[in-house]
């Protein structure tokens, strides 16, 4: 059962508390007049909707919400003989079912009543930008969430595997807020058998004045120790679509993630917000074994994805080989604790289109490694936002997303009230993007996953039969910079400081492949968060080069000139900032050439025939800028294999900020660095903030040996 309460305090700030307990695929919703804006309940976020029951106690301002009785069928799109029930597939989530409500254009006010006008007033995407602090509205509302992290077993694509979930749901509960609201999330670490630390990162949030809430162990906090909790509090300074995820080793790939939506001005109007479309690759092997394989001396590259998921659901063909029950491309230490169990015809995610209406969809790549190529058969998409940045609308039939990237689209339902269509995403992954061979639909290097779209009068007992018009597009680049222009124009500051960033890969002394930035592999120290050292005046760490710290002093604007000397694409994410993308350069063609690192005679063991060597002669940036008066802005940028990317950011938020590849296996292998900006101006850290996580973690590690087999991030 779920409940929510809205209470007025004696202070100016109102707190809206959302509490979730597991209710096996039921949802709680409020009955409220909402200016025709239907609000949703996903997991822990019950907000006003078009159905439900509520009552108010006499003499009390607390609204009690009664959970509706809701029967969720054992299928995502169409009935079948499939015995896989909803809770067996995705736990307590209804995301991806036809029972999922739509989302609002904004949330209710502090009284639980609809705003008569937008809570951000007259701010638009053309006259305001979220990166300008003065533009952020003040709402005096705090939205609270309670999350419990624990182990479970589910079968998202029909294959049973060990997972770690948020409130027993996959994906985790949605976080929703209005632009300018405060968000509080209490995290309880109940991970046992075995125990693990954890931490939660709020992907793309700026954290101005709250750097200690970024959720990165070794940088802004110690991990949350097993059996302990921590409450994050930060402001929704940006608006749009993103997700939260664990930032402890590759733990998020076990399922510790969920959508995060901040409602704000929209670039183009729409009728219906269908909410998150969460795209991910999926491995049947538990994440710790995958990481162990990445850093092992076996010399193997990580296995490609077994499958793909949309909103946590996919369909694996049980007659196909899986990396969890085969020996192909695997190190000797790759294993699963579970007996191989597979159910054919697993339910697929489905969406409802209202005929002739326009629908907003919030695409996000939350996967471990794979590039996502998203399309909808028979429909053209209008792109309105990239990451947390509204853009001048443009149309496309395919959207490419690297890990961590997001794109908001609008789609018009103009194909007939009785029609149904496939939504699809394919994953060329590193097999194609990095020149490691030709992608194949049979060996797992080019998996495709489907989801159904049903119009109002469509026969929902039949799966769609549509075909893709963009099949075979295996490019791995985002849309060209020339057409992705922010709606609010900002030119980069003049006279930046330039920092060279060289991405590399090598064999370390144990025979493991490790990634390098400027010839240094990153490794975190969970017990020594860098932010607190920087705030105390220590910004140089000569005895710990593996922390890979760069102190930019008082420089106000910085260019990172990234050259990729590896045959892999790398989606790089900068915490706490939105940056300008000045230019991108593809690698040389035909496939990159060059000598492998010392001790390496060719491609990695287990790579496909014809794979490229590990070190390439990369194309370098010539200093040119695409759209110099208004370059693309975002917080994750793909750096092409053998190519380059030049980005620039304003050092307007004093602190210590990770900059890392968002491919889980690459950051596990050390592809990260930490940037210290304006350390002398770091201020406002609440008393006892370091101790709030580090005391329990220090005590835990004094009694237990933490098996930190990778970089830790």
* Residue 112, CA distances (Å) to 14, 45, 264, 292, 314 in order: 10, 14, 18, 48, 37
Largest CA distance in the chain: 78
- Residue 306: half-sphere exposure toward Cβ, Cα within 13 Å: 30
Residue 309 and residue 316 in contact, taking contact as beta carbons nearer than 8 Å: no
Q: For the residues of 112-147, what is the DSSP string, one character each?
A: SS--SS-TTTT--TTT--TTSGGGS----EEEEEEE
**SS3 of the chain: helix, strand, coil, percent, to 5:** 10, 35, 60
Beta pairing partners, 263: 178
3-class SS string, 573-608? EECCCCEEEEEEECCCCCCCCCCCCCCCCCCCECCC
Domains and CATH numbers, the chain: 2-77+98-267 (2.60.40.420), 277-455 (2.60.40.420), 497-703 (2.60.40.420)
- CA–CA separation, 148 and 215 (whole Å): 16
Strand, coil or helix: what is 324? helix
3-class SS string, 635-704? CEEEECCCCEEEEEEECCCCEEEEEEECCHHHHHCCCEEEEEECHHHCCCCCCCHHHHHHHHHHHHHHHC
Cβ count within 10 A of residue 83: 9
Q: What is the pLDDT of residue 334?
A: 55
Residue 634 and residue 581 in contact, taking contact as beta carbons nearer than 8 Å: yes
- CA–CA separation, 295 and 281 (whole Å): 20
Q: What is the pLDDT of residue 506?
A: 84
Tokens read off for 401: 């997303």
Residue 137 and residue 123 in contact, taking contact as beta carbons nearer than 8 Å: yes
Say if residue 527 is exposed, middle or buried (CB neighbours under 10 Å; 0-12, 13-18, 19+): middle
Q: What is the pLDDT of residue 66?
A: 22
Block residue for tokens 């907000």: 47
Q: Which runs of consecutive H residues, i.e. helices, occur in 267-415?
A: 287-294
Rounded to 5 degrees, φ, ψ at 668 are: -60, -35
Q: What is the pLDDT of residue 564?
A: 94
Block residue for tokens 């729409």: 270
Block residue for tokens 């490691």: 436
Residue 227 and residue 191 in contact, taking contact as beta carbons nearer than 8 Å: no
- CA–CA separation, 278 and 556 (whole Å): 35
- CA–CA separation, 706 and 655 (whole Å): 27
Beta pairing partners, 656: 676
Closest by CA position to 159, among listed 474, 447, 437: 447
List all residues 6 or more positions away from 82 whose beta carbon is below 8 Å from its beta carbon.
74, 75, 343, 344, 345, 346, 347
Closest by CA position to 478, among listed 398, 424, 411: 398
Say which DSSP state 533 is in. H
- 535-547: b or e for each residue (b if 16 or more CB lie within 10 Å)? beeebebeeeeeb
Residue 200 and residue 173 in contact, taking contact as beta carbons nearer than 8 Å: no
Tokens read off for 216: 């990165």
Beta pairing partners, 141: 14
State the virtual CA torsion across 170, 176, 181, 185 in degrees, nearest 10.
-20
Q: What is the mean pLDDT of each run of 10 residues along the chain (713 residues)?
A: 36 46 31 27 29 29 24 42 84 91 92 90 95 93 97 95 97 98 98 96 97 97 98 98 97 97 95 98 87 72 80 91 59 61 93 97 95 95 98 96 98 97 84 49 64 96 91 78 96 96 85 87 95 94 94 95 92 98 80 37 38 68 96 97 95 96 93 96 94 98 90 81
Residue 48 and residue 39 in contact, taking contact as beta carbons nearer than 8 Å: yes
Tokens read off for 57: 């106690």
List all residues 6 or more positions away from 166 whose beta carbon is below 8 Å from its beta carbon.
43, 147, 148, 149, 172, 173, 255, 256, 257, 258
Strands, E assignment, 91-228: 141-154, 161-166, 175-178, 182-189, 200-202
- CA–CA separation, 445 and 426 (whole Å): 10
List all residues 6 or more positions away from 441 whose beta carbon is below 8 Å from its beta carbon.
447, 448
Q: What is the pLDDT of residue 302?
A: 61
List all residues 6 or more positions away from 411 whose beta carbon is below 8 Å from its beta carbon.
353, 358, 359, 361, 376, 379, 380, 381, 382
- CA–CA separation, 514 and 670 (whole Å): 6
Strand, coil or helix: what is 133? helix
Residue 282 and residue 314 in contact, taking contact as beta carbons nearer than 8 Å: yes
Say which DSSP state 424 is in. E
Q: Tell whether the torsion through CA atoms of 709, 711, 712 and 713 is positive or negative.
A: negative
Closest by CA position to 48, among listed 122, 2, 103: 103
- CA–CA separation, 674 and 551 (whole Å): 9
Q: What is the pLDDT of residue 434?
A: 54
List all residues 6 or more positions away from 134 whose beta carbon is below 8 Å from its beta carbon.
none
- CA–CA separation, 673 and 572 (whole Å): 11
Closest by CA position to 496, among listed 631, 666, 339, 348: 631
């Amino acid at each position: 059962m779920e409940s929510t309460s809205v209470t007025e305090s004696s202070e100016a700030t109102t707190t809206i508390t959302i509490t979730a307990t597991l209710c096996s695929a039921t949802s709680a919703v409020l009955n409220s007049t909402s200016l025709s804006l239907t609000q949703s309940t996903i997991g822990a976020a019950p907000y006003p909707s078009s159905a439900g029951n509520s009552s108010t106690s006499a003499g009390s301002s607390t609204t009690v919400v009664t959970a509706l009785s809701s029967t969720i069928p054992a299928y995502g799109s169409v009935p079948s003989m499939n015995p896989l029930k909803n809770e067996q597939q995705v736990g307590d989530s209804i995301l991806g079912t036809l029972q999922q409500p739509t989302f609002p254009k904004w949330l209710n006010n502090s009284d639980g009543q609809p705003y008569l006008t937008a809570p951000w007033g007259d701010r638009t995407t053309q006259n305001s930008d979220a990166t300008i602090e003065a533009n952020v509205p003040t709402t005096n509302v705090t939205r609270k969430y309670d999350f419990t992290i624990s182990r479970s077993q589910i079968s998202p694509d029909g294959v049973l595997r060990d997972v770690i979930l948020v409130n027993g749901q996959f994906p985790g509960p949605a976080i929703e807020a209005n632009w300018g609201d405060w968000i509080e999330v209490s995290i309880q670490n109940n991970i046992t058998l075995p125990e693990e630390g954890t931490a939660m990162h709020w992907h793309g949030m700026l954290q101005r004045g709250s750097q200690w809430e970024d959720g990165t162990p070794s940088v802004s906090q110690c991990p949350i120790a097993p059996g302990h909790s921590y409450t994050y509090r930060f402001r929704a300074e940006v608006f749009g679509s993103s997700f939260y995820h664990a930032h402890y080793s590759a733990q998020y790939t076990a399922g510790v993630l969920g959508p995060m939506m901040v409602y704000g001005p929209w670039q183009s109007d729409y009728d219906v917000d269908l909410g998150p479309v969460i795209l991910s690759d999926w491995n049947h092997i538990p994440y710790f074994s995958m990481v162990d394989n990445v850093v092992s001396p076996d010399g193997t590259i990580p296995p490609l994805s077994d499958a793909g998921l949309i909103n946590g659901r996919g369909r694996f063909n049980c007659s196909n080989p899986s990396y969890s029950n085969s020996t192909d491309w695997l190190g000797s230490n790759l294993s699963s604790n579970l007996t191989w169990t597979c159910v054919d015809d697993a339910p697929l995610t489905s969406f409802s289109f209202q005929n002739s209406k326009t629908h907003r969809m919030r695409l996000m790549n939350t996967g471990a490694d794979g590039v996502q190529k998203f399309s909808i058969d028979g429909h053209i998409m209008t792109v309105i936002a990239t990451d947390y940045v509204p853009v001048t609308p443009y149309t496309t039939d395919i959207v490419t997303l690297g890990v961590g990237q997001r794109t908001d689209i609008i789609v018009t339902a103009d194909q007939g009230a009785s029609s149904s269509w496939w939504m699809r995403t394919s994953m060329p992954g590193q097999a194609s993007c990095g020149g490691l061979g030709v992608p194949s639909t049979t060996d797992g290097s080019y998996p495709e996953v489907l989801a159904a779209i049903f119009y109002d009068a469509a026969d929902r007992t039949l799966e769609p039969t549509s075909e893709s018009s963009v099949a075979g597009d295996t490019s791995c680049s985002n849309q060209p910079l020339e057409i992705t222009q922010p709606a609010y124009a900002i030119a980069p500051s003049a006279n930046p400081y330039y920092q060279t960033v060289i991405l590399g890969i090598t064999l370390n002394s144990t025979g493991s492949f490790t990634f390098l930035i400027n010839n240094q592999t990153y490794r975190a120290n969970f017990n020594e968060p860098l932010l607190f050292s920087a705030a105390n005046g220590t910004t140089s760490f000569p005895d710990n080069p593996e922390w890979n710290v760069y102190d930019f002093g008082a420089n106000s604007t910085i260019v990172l000139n990234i050259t990729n000397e590896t045959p892999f694409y790398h989606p790089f994410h900068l915490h706490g900032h939105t940056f300008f993308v000045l230019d991108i350069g593809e690698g040389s063609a035909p496939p990159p050439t060059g000598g492998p690192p010392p001790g390496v005679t060719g491609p990695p063991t287990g790579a496909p025939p014809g794979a490229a060597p590990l070190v390439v002669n990369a194309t370098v940036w010539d200093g040119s800028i695409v759209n110099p008066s208004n370059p693309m802005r975002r917080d994750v940028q793909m750096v092409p294999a053998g190519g380059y990317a030049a980005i620039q950011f304003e050092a307007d938020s004093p602190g210590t900020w990770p900059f890392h590849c968002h491919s889980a296996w690459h950051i596990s292998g050390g592809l990260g660095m930490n940037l210290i900006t304006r350390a002398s101006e770091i201020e406002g850290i609440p008393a006892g903030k370091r101790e709030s996580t580090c005391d329990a973690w220090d005590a835990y590690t004094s009694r237990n040996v933490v098996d930190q087999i990778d970089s830790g991030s």
